[in-house]
Amino acid sequence: MSQQGYVAAPPYSQAQPGMGGYQGGFGGGPAQPLYGHYGGPPQAFAAPPAGMMKSPVSSAAGMPPPPASNQYNPNVQQNGAHPQRYPAPQAASVYGQPLQSPYNSMASMAPPPAQQLTNQMSSMNLGNYAPGPMQSPPPPTSSVQQPFQTSPPQAMGQPQMSPGPQSPHMSPQMSPQQSPMSGPPMGGPPMGGPPMGGPPMGGPPMGGPPMGGPPMGGTPMGGPQMTGPPMAGMGRPFPGPPGPGGFQQPGPGAAGPPGYPQQAGQFGGNMAGHQPGMPGAFPGAPGGMAGPPQKKLDPDSIPSITQVIEDDQVKRGGQVYSTNIRGQIPPLVTTDFTVQDQGNASPRFMRCTTYSLPCTADLAKQCQVPLASIIKPLANLPENETPLYVVNHGETGPIRCNRCKAYMCPYMQFIDGGRRYQCGFCNCVNEVPVFYFQHLDHMGRRVDFYERPELSLGSYEFVATLDYCKNNKPPNPPAYIFMIDVSYNNIKSGLVKLICDELKNLLEHLPSEEGVEASAIKVGFVTYNKVLHFYNVKSALAQPQMMVVSDTAEMFVPLLDGFLVNYQDSRAVISNLLDQIPDMFADTNESETVFVPVIQAGVEAFKAAECSGKLFIFQSSMPTAEAPGKLKNRDDKKLVNTDKEKTLFQPQKGVYEQLSKECVAQGCCVDLFLFPNQYMDIATMADVPSHTGGSVYKYNNFQVETDGEHFLRDLRKDVQKSIGFDAIMRVRTSTGFRATEFFGAIHMNNTTDIEMAAVDCDKALTVEFKHDDTLSEETGAHMQCALLYTTINGQRRLRIHNLSLNCSSQLSELYKSCETDSLINFFSKSACRAILNQPLKTVREILVNQTAHMLACYRKNCASPSAASQLILPDAMKVFPVYINSLMKTAPLVGSTELSTDDRAHQRLLIMGMGVEETQLLLYPRLTPLHNMDVSIKTHPAPVRCSEERLTDSGMFLLENGHSMFLWLGQAIPPDLVQNIFNLPSLAHLQGNMCALPELDNPLSNKVRAIINDLIEKRPNSMKLHIVRQKDKPEMVFRQFLVEDKGLHGGASYMDFLCYVHREIRQLLT
């Protein structure tokens, strides 16, 4: 559709369908008419939002305007509604304000609507602001540093962050890039972007970091000044007349143009041009805005995630975080800190989107900030943090509130001399059981307060009594069943042998509970193609026995005794078996497989053994053999960007749905290791894992040489990770609000009980809360998450996490207490769930709209008055737009026919189970320069912003997002570096399929490998190292991870997106 306009450009530069949407909205076109549009009355603006949604219209970059607006009419109305609520702020005031005052101003900003208009129209006058910082800085590269240091206020981006430290980091990278290209171009076109950037920083952000003090101090400072410049940028584009042309017509700005023309071409040649950022997603729009662009905005001037991370690390890194204060905001997930549990759950277990809830539903509705908690109930704790205590309340089981059944916790208020206690959740007054009675001290606290974890800690465990066990019988230890597809593909690829060899080693290291030597986990083995082979490996046998079950229509387990065994007892027989399996099927020519019966077999085995456990399934093809759950290829790229696109993500119903239920009921977790050579319908095949707390790993075109190690690392991690089985979880809240939505690899039979066949240390679920009633500022809000599960040693436990939050009737408190990383986790999951039921276009619209809405609400209610043209972001959310933009560029959400349906479905499912750390990393990969680091320092070099601009021809960069890892080598990389790392004379000698670095004994090699290994070790998933050379074809894959740039498959650059959001906000405020 939209691509036409770009056809001329090289392939990957093309605007992807996804982009189209934006384009359309913005009128993408070159056309002046468009411009007129924007310049025009407010309505004109209204249209764009519609455009956001990718739409047919988007298509023509060239011919957008008229039709577009029609189509979007409905949207217009929608938007119309918002504006009413948020009158536009006064433009002027902000600018005028002195540094000091920003905070105040934020609070009160209610510019009259009328003005707003004018603002918009005229405003476009970034020029005003521009004068100062913006324009000046860009030009000289070297200058970059200067601005920061010399005139902090001006330098938007930099300033906000502690100028000192960061500038040095940034500068080196920036400089090279900027010097040549960016300098000039930036200033010009990007306009839209940059300006925005400016403001955000300026306003709130500044305040945040620098000033210890919350909003006040910091904000003000940055606010005014920073904002100034950015706006300037903005101003121009808008007002600027011909701007639009910019896009397509290189002509427009001869000067600025350098940038533009390039872009067009550049997209193709992307690399060459630096500007990647800009054009990307909102080509049309920004262009339009930029209009006149002579000067580009400095990309450094918009809020930077790396900077935010670094600041937090500086500020809170290495410190002890005590959880003794209600509603306190924990350090960022990226920060290295130590937790001391003093009555609230560690942020490793629970994080919230905000630590200060609005008191009323109206407030919550007004700001549209989701109230959610991300819970990773079995999160691993670092070694220097105390493991959870286990509390035993004896035969009667844990003490619980009689009414709401909340478990004993620090929020229970003991009264009446300690004879009774009032529940902190439902306020019911309960008798204290005799055996539990204790006197109170003068503070009204029990004297055994510090002796009882359940009274003084946020997290602890109870020993569960038989009442908490299935059939009132103590559970058996869980079992792991390895189910290996031995069809032709897997035999031929050598995978079967690889697995069998590895298992011998792996089984020696099965996990066990701390302090217990031998693992209690039982193991079992199944191989299959279109029939299943079970193995009897009872220790008493001289040789293993194989039992073939061909009746896949009604699966059953053919043996009881000897299938699930203790590895140590049966080691000899198992070893014998694993030696034989690859040979037994060496001559197979069976290429068909079954799938559902394999899982059914596992469930049946667990049923028979009365245990829970996990299935490790290694499968290479879609199950096409005649059996339940047989699949047909239903991949259809034609559905992409239609209302039916969602069907690509929807699992096939019927037998798979039923199977999930059975698995959950039995506590059967399914982990899938897939080795596809073609479409496998992962949406369906991964349905069971995604409802049973399982994981799905995928190795496309698996080859033992290049992918073997990667896969084995994943397998080892997966087998060894700590995990709980047959779990059921409940989140209780104090009165006034309650959990309403649950996202994760879970199953729910009713609206409150979260059932998980298993939950491991990396699985997190996200819980959204809604108001029932008014919350009290005084008592705050409590939540208690109780997880009932079976340990890997077969003990039934209850794990309790308690967390207390503040409540406030001031929205500013809420915005202050927001955590962007948690917010983005929530949005990721809700969007990934939404695309099952809604057109992607709609989902993306909602994301953008809600982003704009949240920010507009802040501006309206919390920010000091400022020019409407100024973008003001809450400090705690200043990088939120980067993430949202990145989210919309993830495979599931970007509608591109170039992405494989399976990859998209796979990523969608991955996201559903992710914790805050993982979504953060996924949406903002770490891009680390390795060519200029100090190899003598232990720590890793600081990452730089994820943008092509940060790459240098002579550099070497490591990019990693928790799932993929790239070592990028610039064309002009010095030979000695190549020699040191690869032991090769030049890049030209590099083998294409290399996936590990040679072990060379020199400081650089050691350091680089240490960094890589450390990351691989640290992340929940192992990653395959891809080595890409600049300009090589594989570089395309790498580029899609540069999330600040325009998306390869569609999606705007960060700067363009910011501009767009800004416009939306202004729209809302009018």
Partner 1 sequence: GVVRQAMASYQEFIQQNEDRDGVRFSWNLWPSSRLEATRLVVPVSCLFTPLKERPDLPPVQYEPVLCSRANCKAVLNPLCQVDFRAKIWACNFCFQRNPFPPSYAGISEVNQPAELMPQFSTIEYIVQRGATAPLIFLYVVDTCLEEEDLQALKESLQMSLSLLPPNALVGLITFGRMVQVHELSCEGIAKSYVFRGTKDLSSKQIQEMLGLTKPAASAQQGRPVAPQDAAASCRFLQPVHRVDMNLTDLLGELQRDPWPVPQGKRPLRSTGVALTVAVGLLEGTFPNTGARVMLFIGGPPTQGPGMVVGDELKTPIRSWHDIQKDNARHLKKATKYYEAMANRSAVNGHCIDIYACALDQTGLLEMKCLSNLTGGHIVMGDSFNTSLFKQTFQRVFSKDLNGDFRMAFGGVLEIKTSREVKVCGSIGPCVSLNSKGSCVSENEMGIGGTSQWKVCGLNPSTTLGIFFEVVNQHNAPVPQGGRGAIQFVTQYQHSNTQRRIRVTTIARNWADAQSQIQHIESSFDQEAAAVLMARLGVFRAESEEGPDVLRWLDRQLIRLCQKFGQFNKDDPTSFKLSESLSLYPQFMFHLRRSPFLQVFNNSPDESSYYRHHFVRQDLTQSLIMIQPILYSYSFHGPPEPVLLDSSSILPDRILLMDTFFQLVIYHGEDTLADTESTIAQWRKNFKQLLLAPLDDAQEILQTRFPMPRYIDTEHGGSQARFLLSKVNPSQTHNNLYAWGQETGAPILTDDVSLQVFMDHLKKLAVSSSA
Closest separation between CB of residue 521 and partner 1, Å?
21
SS3 annotation, 1011-1037: HHHHHHHHCCCCCCEEEEECCCCCHHH
- 183: tokens are 């300098």
Closest separation between CB of residue 579 and partner 1, Å?
9
Closest separation between CB of residue 757 and partner 1, Å?
25
Residue corresponding to tokens 């808008």: 238
Query: How far apart are alpha carbons 101 and 106 in whole angstroms?
Result: 9
Closest separation between CB of residue 554 and partner 1, Å?
6
Closest separation between CB of residue 507 and partner 1, Å?
19
Q: Which helix (H) or strand (E) holds 321?
A: strand 320-322
Closest separation between CB of residue 1004 and partner 1, Å?
50
User: Coil, strand or helix: which one is 77?
Assistant: helix
Closest separation between CB of residue 535 and partner 1, Å?
8
- CB closer to partner 1, 662 vs 1032: 662
The 10 Å Cβ neighbour count of residue 392 is 12
CA-nearest of 37, 109, 127 to 76 is 37
Query: How far apart are alpha carbons 974 and 652 in whole angstroms?
Result: 53
Q: Which whole-number Å values give the CA distances from 252 to 177, 195, 256, 446, in the listed order? A: 24, 20, 8, 76
Burial class (CB in 10 A: 0-12, 13-18, 19+), 584: middle
CA-nearest of 807, 799, 813, 729 to 773 is 807
- CB closer to partner 1, 451 vs 610: 610
Name residue 724's beta-bridge partners: 759
Query: How far apart are alpha carbons 890 and 962 in whole angstroms?
Result: 14
- CB closer to partner 1, 320 vs 560: 560
Query: How far apart are alpha carbons 732 and 803 in whole angstroms?
Result: 11
Main-chain phi, psi angles of 1028, to 5 degrees: -125, 140
Closest separation between CB of residue 548 and partner 1, Å?
4
CA 573 to chain centroid: 44
Closest separation between CB of residue 536 and partner 1, Å?
8
- CB closer to partner 1, 599 vs 1008: 599
Radius of gyration of the chain (CA): 29
Task: Provide the terminal-to-terminal Cα distance of the chain, rounded to the nearest Å.
Answer: 33
- CB closer to partner 1, 197 vs 544: 544
CA 408 to chain centroid: 34
Quick check: 208 and 309 in contact, CB under 8 A? no
Closest separation between CB of residue 479 and partner 1, Å?
17
Closest separation between CB of residue 522 and partner 1, Å?
15
- Single-letter amino acid, residue 464: A
- 350: tokens are 């629970």
- CB closer to partner 1, 437 vs 556: 556
Helix 840-861 to helix 880-888 angle, to the nearest 10 degrees?
170
Query: How far apart are alpha carbons 764 and 535 in whole angstroms?
Result: 35
Cα angle 464, 468, 473 (rounded to 5 degrees) comes to 100
Residues of the shown chain interacting with partner 1 in the complex, contacts defined by CB under 8 A: 531, 534, 541-551, 554, 556, 558-562, 576-577, 580, 584
- CB closer to partner 1, 60 vs 557: 557
- Please name the residue ranges forming H helices in 130-214: 145-150, 157-160, 163-177, 183-187, 193-202, 204-207
- CB closer to partner 1, 415 vs 559: 559
- CB closer to partner 1, 404 vs 541: 541
- Single-letter amino acid, residue 219: T
Q: Which helix (H) or strand (E) holds 387?
A: none
- CB closer to partner 1, 525 vs 743: 525
The contacts of residue 916 (CB under 8 Å, 6+ apart) are 333, 351, 374, 764, 821, 822, 825
Closest separation between CB of residue 537 and partner 1, Å?
10
Closest separation between CB of residue 648 and partner 1, Å?
34
- CB closer to partner 1, 576 vs 971: 576
Closest separation between CB of residue 583 and partner 1, Å?
8
Instruction: Output the CA torsion 765→766→770→772 (10° steps).
Output: 20
- Please name the residue ranges forming H helices in 862-915: 880-888, 901-912
- CB closer to partner 1, 577 vs 728: 577
Name residue 818's beta-bridge partners: 354
Closest separation between CB of residue 585 and partner 1, Å?
12
Query: How far apart are alpha carbons 233 and 239 in whole angstroms?
Result: 11
- CB closer to partner 1, 372 vs 496: 496
> Given phi > 0 = left and psi -120 to 50 = alpha, else beta, which region is 494?
left
Quick check: 1055 and 190 in contact, CB under 8 A? yes
Cα angle 53, 57, 61 (rounded to 5 degrees) comes to 105
Closest separation between CB of residue 491 and partner 1, Å?
17
Closest separation between CB of residue 544 and partner 1, Å?
5
- CB closer to partner 1, 503 vs 863: 503
- CB closer to partner 1, 283 vs 544: 544
- CB closer to partner 1, 533 vs 860: 533
Query: How far apart are alpha carbons 318 and 546 in whole angstroms?
Result: 55
- CB closer to partner 1, 390 vs 584: 584
